[in-house]
Amino acid sequence: MSELTNIARPYARAAFNFAVENQAVDKWQQMLSFAAAVANDETVKQLLSSAMAANQLSEIFIKVCQEELDQPAQNLIKVMAENGRLKALPEVLEFFAQLRAEYEKEVSVQITSATELSQEKIATLSASLEKRLARKVKLNCNVDPALVAGVVIKAGDTVIDGSIRSKLNRLADALQA
């Protein structure tokens, strides 16, 4: 998988730079999302693994995508086919999304709470996290009763564990030591 990751990065960066220049980031993300879904189809995966010529492969792939891809996106498909890289389309989409989030200064934050959070509490958390992280935040809220009370916040590599469960675990460890 790391090989596909290394392969995908330059294609994602090129697609993203083109999308930004042409003010079409949303459109490109949609096109890449569709192309990645096509590339993940089992029949297409077998086709991509075959020894078919690159121009035939790109023609078939573009026909499957039909009107979903504009001319520049079709050109990307052709270049990737010529280099035998169409298998990396899902990773290209993933990196494109990361580049977009970085560009838009947005971070996805996972909030797990013991009980359902009120809209007021969510708004307060969102404002606090935006201030702390200096980015727009997109909250994904989950409920896990095992936390007993409190919340666990994950934003990239940052984890803020304010749950009673973890505090009880730390207290138990301290008492046993």
Mean pLDDT in consecutive groups of 10 residues from the start of the chain, 177 residues: 72 87 86 85 74 75 80 84 83 88 79 85 85 80 81 79 78 84
Q: Domain range holding 64?
A: 2-102
- Decide: helix, strand or coil at residue 115: coil
CATH code for the domain of 12: 1.10.520.20
C-alpha to C-alpha distance for 58 and 81, rounded to whole angstroms: 6
Q: Which of 79, 75, 73, 82 is nearest to 36 (CA)?
A: 73
How much is the pLDDT for 43?
Answer: 76
How much is the pLDDT for 1?
Answer: 45
Domain end among 47, 67, 102:
102
What is the CA 163 to chain-centroid distance, rounded?
Answer: 27
- Number of structural domains, the chain? 2
How much is the pLDDT for 122?
Answer: 86
> What region, left, alpha or beta, does residue 124 occupy, with left being phi > 0 and alpha being psi -120 to 50 degrees?
alpha
Domain end among 84, 102, 120:
102
How much is the pLDDT for 18?
Answer: 87
Q: Are 39 and 118 in a shared domain?
A: no
How much is the pLDDT for 10?
Answer: 87
Q: Are 7 and 94 in a shared domain?
A: yes
The structure tokens 């999304």 sit at 97
Q: Are 47 and 92 in a shared domain?
A: yes
C-alpha to C-alpha distance for 104 and 28, rounded to whole angstroms: 15
How much is the pLDDT for 38?
Answer: 83
Model-wide pTM > 0.85 = no
Which strands, in side-by-side order, build the sheet including 106-113? Answer: 136-143, 106-113, 151-155, 158-161
Q: Are 148 and 87 in a shared domain?
A: no
